[in-house]
Structure 1
Amino acid sequence: MNKSTSESRAIVPPRREFSLLGFVAAPYTIAMRNHDLIRRLVQRDIESRFRGTVLGKVWAVIAPLFMLAIYTFVFGVILNSRWQDRTDEPFLFPVIYFSGLIVFNFFFDSVARAPTLMRENQAFIKKIFFPVEIFAFAIVGSAIFRFGIGLAILAVFYLPIVGLPPLAVITYPVLFFGLALFTLGFAWILSAVSVFIRDIAHLIGLVTMLFMFLSPVFYPLSAVPEGLRAVLMFNPLTFPLESMRNALFFGDWPGLAGMAVYLAAGWLWAAAGHGIFMRLRPGFADVV
């Protein structure tokens, strides 16, 4: 008994001393060290989502296309809606809606799956030297794939209505990268905490629905009472949603200082999420 105990202790990697540089650089170093494995996990995740279906990956195109068709009919034809005072084009309104929704769905796809991530991959948890933290990269990468399809569909409808995008659109990928960092941080935190508090998996749908209505997905930030705008800016979705939409449709440039702060905050959030995940990691095998 003592012998087996000493052997099990021998394979546990020693606890490393805290390094601020290592803490901050963790998202980058993990991605670079495991990039090939992450790529294969992303591919596996995408294929598993459509395995067993008749249409396969075509569903990744049908679902957002159907959603856009509904928005166009309801808001463009029936309600004849306008985006406040910024455009009078009725068919542009549902396209603006759709542009916000694909960004939110990217966030939602990753966060909604995070609470069950460790249980879905429990076979890897007992393998002490397997980097289970890379599963968060896998679900975020898979969500990026679906976001890319939504973006391509958006372009098909955007170009005939709006024309070529304004120069400010070059900020779009930068803002999206910041959101991806926040999403990765949330995925790490939720996947780790949910191992011990399984109620989170049941709450996440309600919380994300609340998140959607507290984010400027279906309305511009200018429609929010001025006293509440500062509160909404603490929502990590507010700045990229508002800035990406305004850059794409109205040619508005987001402030460089705002973008820099958002990117820095996103990186630190991802690093903190990884830190929390690794702090809780030793207890996974006892619970899952």
Structure 2
Amino acid sequence: MTFNHLEVIVNLTRREVAGRYRGSMLGILWSLLTPLLMLAVYTFMFGTVLRMRWAGGGDAQPTAEFALILFVGLIFFQTFSEMLTRAPTLILANVSFVKKVVFPLEILPVVALAAALFHMLVSFLVMLIFLLLSRGSIPLTAPLLPIVVAPFMLLLIGLSWFFAAAGVYFRDISQVLNPIVSALMFLSPIFVPAEALPSAVRPWLTLNPISIPVEQARQVLIFDQIPNWSALAVYTIAAAIIAGLGFLFFQATRKGFADVL
């Protein structure tokens, strides 16, 4: 990727983020208010109304801590959901770029990822502020979060390249992905820890693309523990392979985009 491509990515990402809130009274401030409202709702509903607690935390577990544990999982899921449900329509929504021979179509998923990453980082910033206010400090392991997020981003870009290309030829992919993504939310350790699931189910949980990032992010952000390096290494290798295959698939099929569109 050349420097010119990087400049285009930055400009398109800026336009993507600003365009989401164009016309609203608060504008881009919504990117900060939305996670704040989400965190408030989770704290009230799951911690105060339902009085749910994370397994192993005991009845004395603070409501705020449970909300944060849940919030970490939902941040990853929302980023995952946004990328996968949007990927099949990325090329279809930018037909004018397809007809421009010099335009690098492969950066469209990168732009979508950069915009999703921006909102993800804002959500984590809100979470860290809430963590500081509720505990009085931030775990020393918190700076390890980028190491957990990086392979997750690598996986997402690989899947986005694949589904962006496939979506041009198979328009039903969007309809198929929506229920699959919803199912993955309930088949991941977002609402309950992996240890609370039946032993026969746990090995399959690792196949869920958001399970390992969610668990490792909680380790460094909530529980003040270093991540499981072996699990993270395997996940990174798998993510790199998927990213490479996704890019190759995109480049191999892009020649027919103009004919189909």
- Contact 2:13–2:115 (CA<8 Å) still a contact in 1? yes
Contact kept? 1:162, 1:249, Cα under 8 Å? no
Do the aligned residues in 2 keep the contact of 1:233 with 1:239 (CA within 8 Å)? yes
Distance in 1, matches of 2:88 and 2:23, equals: 24
Provide the aligned length of Structure 1 versus Structure 2: 259
Q: Are the counterparts in 2 of residues 31 and 38 from structure 1 also a CA contact under 8 Å?
A: no
Q: Where do residues 167-186 of structure 1 align in structure 2 (5 Å cutoff)?
A: 167-186=140-159
Quote the Cα distance in structure 2 between the aligned partners of 1:90 and 1:96.
10
Separation in 2, partners of 1:31, 1:110: 24
Per-residue deviation, 1:269 = 1.1
Unpaired segments ≥5 residues, structure 2: none
Q: TM-score, structure 1 length as denominator?
A: 0.85
Aligned match of 1:45: 16
2:54 pairs, out of 83, 86, 90, with: 83
| 1:197 aligned partner | 170
Gaps of 5+ in 1: 1-29
1:107 CA displacement? 1.5
Q: Could you say if the C-alpha distance between residues 32 and 107 of structure 1 is closer, same or farther in structure 2, counting changes exceeding 3 Å?
A: farther
d(CA) in 1 for partners of 2:213 and 2:10?
26
What displacement does 1:71 show?
A: 0.9
Separation of aligned partners in 2, 1:175 and 1:201 = 28
Question: In structure 2, how many angstroms separate the alpha carbons of the residues matched to 1:137 and 1:31?
Answer: 14
Larger Rg: 1
Contact 2:128-2:138 at 8 Å conserved across structures: no
Task: Using structure 2 for the length normalisation, give the TM-score.
Answer: 0.93
Residues 216, 228 of structure 2: 8 Å contact kept:
no
Residues of 1 paired with 2:2 and 2:155: CA distance? 15
Cα root mean square deviation, aligned: 1.6
Tell me the equivalent position of 1:257. Answer: 230
Structure 1 letter corresponding to 2:219:
N
- 1:73 partnered with 2:81: no
Structure 2 counterparts to residues 45-124 of structure 1, below 5 A: 45-86=16-57, 88-124=61-97
Report the Cα distance in structure 2 between the residues aligned to 1:269 and 1:171, rounded to whole angstroms.
Answer: 23
Aligned residue among 161, 170, 195 for 1:222: 195
Quick one: which amino acid aligns to residue 97 of structure 1? L
In 1, are the aligned partners of 2:152 and 2:239 still within 8 Å (CA)?
yes
- Asked whether 1:235 is paired with 2:205, we answer no
Q: Secondary structure at the match of 1:91?
A: helix
Write out per-residue CA displacement over residues 250-280 of structure 1, whole angstroms, 9 at most, x where no aligned residue.
1222232222222222112111110111111
